[in-house]
């Protein structure tokens, strides 16, 4: 049996038709198998690419650590605070393209993919200019957040040197979304892997051979980031003739509607990223903060590795949902969501079981301190629950991007995270004197509420209506209304 034959939907009479209702166990099994193949063909390369990009940051930290402790603190602080802030905002702004390109590809409007990508380039380039003051004034910002002058100054200098990397994201993210929408993700994975190796070589050259210190690390970071962006553009121009028809003035049409969706995407994603960052800031204000912050950081490090996988799944389910809606296949979109949520939940449960079983031992990877190992062990159950919740939430967020519901999810995130979760965590952590357990427990409650609400939204979704809205969006934002 060939691969193509395995992927042909059993419940679809002809190409382009939707699934018929899956009522028998055999039909359900085939839907699960078919949708799993389609999803993982996209998710696996994307997760690998994200791991490589995560590795670029990690390798930069490792080389900085071998220069000195101060240099390590400065680079880590710059990348984790300034870099994460801008990365989250830019990734969110680029997610609007994920919605439109995926739906346009599904609808057969291949020529519009390049126009949407150029539209996103323009918007993200302007976003970079807006974000530049954060890099320019990084030192006073870090001091305001409570960092010492000794660390804040070199961290600010490193941040200023990485401004070119910020502008590379304006090219990188739209180009990646353009390729994702067409499921051309193997190229993204290879580019990420090759430049991870190149980045390691550049760090060695600039730091050890030229002796440029963390300035050399910043230059290597800039060159690698622009190398990835340029390589992706070269691939698009050279090998994606269907979606790329050259530069077009259509990129400037309906740009404000595009901006609104981009801003909604950015707010949705930033509210999620900043929520998890805030627990570190609050924990630093507890008594015995060193042990609390270190134990929490170890847990978050493990959580981060799981998060890389689910970011790949997030992007994959976004592509699948937007493609199916664009093709006018509401039941296929619904089945795709159900299968992906089920499989993600199973992965999250396996991670939770693994963490609980190894709760007394996994901290050894990071520390030899018995007190710290005991502190991490006490937080293991919180980590396990967080891993389960984080296995569902990114998938639903990906569905939101695929369906264009970013504004709704942004409101849900704001209410659950910042009106409910954070205040509850503050009360439990500081007023009830439960410390880091109280902080984390309150924030878990916020995430749990958000997950339940998003699952309810998905359950109540009228997928036929989503197809109609997708068709209208393609007409309006594709410029067809203006041309008639």
59, part of any domain:
yes
- For 345-361, how does the pLDDT look when each residue is reduced to its tens digit (9 = 90+)? 999 999 999 999 988 88
* Same domain, residue pair 279 and 317: yes
Nearest Cα residue to 81 out of 132, 155, 7: 155
**Cα separation, 457 vs 415, whole angstroms:** 15
Residues 412/446, Cβ–Cβ less than 8 Å: no
Are both 187 and 281 inside the same structural domain? no
Residues 306 and 284 placed together within one structural domain of the fold: yes
> For residue 274, is it within any domain?
yes
Looking at the structure, do residues 239 and 261 belong to the same domain, yes or no?
A: no
- Average pLDDT score, the chain: 83
Question: Which of the listed residues 225, 252, 279 is the one where a domain comes to its end?
Answer: 252
Q: What is the rounded CA–CA span in Å between residue 166 and residue 159?
A: 10
For residue 120, the Cα-to-chain-centroid distance in whole angstroms is 17
Residues 287-329 have pLDDT tens digits of 766 677 677 777 877 787 787 788 788 888 888 888 888 788 8
Query: Which structural domain, as residue segments, surrounds residue 216?
Result: 46-252
**What per-residue confidence (pLDDT) applies to 473?**
66
Question: How many Cβ atoms from other residues are within 10 Å of residue 356's Cβ?
Answer: 13
Residue entry with tokens 């339940």: 452
Distance CA 82, CA 25 (A): 51
Task: Answer yes or no: do 172 and 317 share one domain.
Answer: no
pLDDT value of residue 477: 56
Residue 277 CA to residue 272 CA, distance in Å, equals: 9
Mark whether 258 and 238 lie in a shared domain: no
Question: Which tens digits make up the pLDDT trace of 20-75?
Answer: 888 888 888 988 998 899 889 888 888 888 888 878 988 888 888 788 877 877 88
**Cβ proximity of 162 and 132 under 8 Å:** no
Q: What is the Cα–Cα distance from 336 to 36, expressed in whole angstroms?
A: 8
Question: For residues 268 and 410, is the Cβ–Cβ distance under 8 A?
Answer: yes
CB 103 within 8 A of CB 466: no
248 and 270 assigned to the same domain: no
pTM, full prediction: 0.76
Contacts of 422 (CB under 8 A, 6+ apart): 275, 278, 442, 443, 446
CB 44 within 8 A of CB 309: no
Distances (CA, A) of 214 to 141, 431, 450: 20, 42, 40
292 and 420 part of one domain = yes
Residues 147, 64, single domain; the answer is yes
Distance (Å, rounded) from C-alpha 430 to C-alpha 432? 6
> Quick one: pLDDT at residue 11?
40
If one counts every other C-beta atom within 10 angstroms of the C-beta of residue 105, the result is 24
Q: Are 195 and 284 in the same domain?
A: no
* Tokens (6 digits) for 248: 């077009």
Contacts of 294 (CB under 8 A, 6+ apart): 367, 372, 375
Does residue 192 lie within any of the structural domains?
A: yes
End-of-domain residue from the set 227, 252, 277? 252
* Residue that has been written with the tokens 């009360």 in this structure: 427
The share of the chain scoring above pLDDT 90, in percent, equals: 28
Instruction: Name 254's Cβ contacts closer than 8 Å, sequence gap at least 6.
Output: 476, 477, 479, 482
Q: Which of 252, 270, 289 delimits the end of a domain?
A: 252
Predicted confidence at residue 243, as pLDDT, reads 73
- Label each residue of 398-425 as H, E or C: HHHHHHCCHHHHHHHHHHHHHHHHHHHH
> Does a structural domain hold residue 310?
yes
110-144 burial, b at 16+ Cβ within 10 Å, e below that, comes to: bebbbbbbbbbbbbbeebbeebeebbeebbebbbe
Tell me: the pLDDT tens digits for 417-439? 999 999 999 999 888 988 888 99
Q: Is the pLDDT of residue 88 over 50?
A: yes
438 vs 430: CA distance, rounded Å: 8
Tell me, yes or no, whether 412 lies in a domain.
Answer: yes
Number of domains in the chain: 2
Residues 242, 106 within the same domain? yes
Can you tell me the distance from the alpha carbon of 179 to that of 171, in angstroms, rounded to the nearest whole number?
13
Do 161 and 294 share a structural domain? Answer: no
Residues 6+ apart with CB under 8 A from 153: 139
In this predicted structure, what is the pLDDT of residue 89? 87
Least confident residue range of 24-33, 39-48, 381-390, 467-476: 467-476
Distance CA 322, CA 328 (A): 10
Q: How many CB atoms lie within 10 A of CB 221?
A: 29
């Amino acid at each position: 049996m060939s691969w193509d034959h395995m992927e042909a939907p059993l419940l679809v009479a002809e190409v382009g038709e939707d699934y018929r209702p899956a009522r028998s166990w055999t039909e359900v099994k085939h839907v699960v198998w078919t949708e799993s193949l389609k999803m993982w063909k996209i998710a696996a390369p994307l997760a690998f690419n994200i791991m490589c990009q995560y590795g670029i940051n990690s390798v930069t930290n490792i080389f900085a650590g071998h220069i000195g402790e101060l240099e390590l603190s400065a680079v880590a602080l710059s990348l984790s605070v300034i870099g994460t802030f801008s990365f989250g905002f830019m990734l969110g702004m680029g997610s609007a393209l994920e919605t439109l390109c995926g739906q346009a590809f599904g609808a057969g409007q291949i020529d519009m993919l390049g126009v949407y990508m150029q539209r996103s380039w323009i918007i993200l380039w302007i976003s970079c200019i807006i974000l530049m003051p954060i890099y320019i004034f990084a030192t006073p910002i870090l001091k305001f957040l409570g960092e010492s002058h000794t660390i804040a100054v070199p961290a600010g200098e490193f941040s200023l040197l990485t401004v070119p990397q910020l502008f590379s994201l304006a090219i990188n993210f739209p180009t990646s979304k353009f390729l994702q929408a067409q499921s051309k993700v193997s190229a993204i994975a290879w580019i990420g892997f090759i430049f991870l190796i190149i980045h390691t070589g550049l760090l060695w050259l600039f730091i050890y051979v030229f002796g440029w210190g963390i300035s050399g690390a910043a230059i290597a970071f800039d060159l690698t980031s622009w190398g990835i962006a340029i390589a992706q553009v070269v691939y698009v121009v050279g090998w994606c003739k269907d979606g790329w028809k050259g530069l077009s003035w259509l990129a400037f049409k309906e740009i404000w509607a595009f901006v609104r969706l981009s801003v909604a995407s950015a707010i949705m994603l930033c509210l999620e990223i900043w929520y998890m960052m805030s627990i570190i800031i609050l924990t630093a204000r507890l008594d015995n903060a060193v042990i609390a912050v270190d134990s929490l950081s170890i847990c978050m490090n493990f959580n981060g590795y799981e998060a890389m996988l689910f970011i790949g799944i997030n992007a994959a389910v976004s592509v699948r949902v937007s493609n199916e809606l664009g093709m006018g296949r509401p039941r296929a979109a619904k089945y795709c969501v159900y299968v992906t949520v089920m499989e993600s939940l199973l992965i999250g449960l396996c991670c939770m079981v693994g963490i609980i079983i190894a709760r007394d031992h996994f901290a050894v990877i990071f520390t030899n301190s018995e007190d710290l190992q005991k502190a991490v062990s006490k937080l293991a159950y919180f980590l396990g629950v967080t891993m389960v919740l984080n296995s569902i939430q990114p998938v639903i967020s990906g569905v939101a991007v695929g369906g264009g519901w970013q504004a709704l999810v942004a409101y849900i995130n704001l209410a659950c995270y910042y009106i409910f979760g954070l205040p509850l965590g503050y009360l439990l952590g500081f007023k009830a004197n439960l410390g880091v357990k109280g902080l984390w427990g309150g924030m878990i409650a916020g995430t749990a509420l958000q997950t339940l609400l998003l699952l309810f939204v998905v359950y109540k979704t009228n997928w036929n209506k989503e197809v109609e809205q997708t068709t209208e969006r393609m007409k309006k934002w594709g410029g067809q209304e203006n041309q008639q």
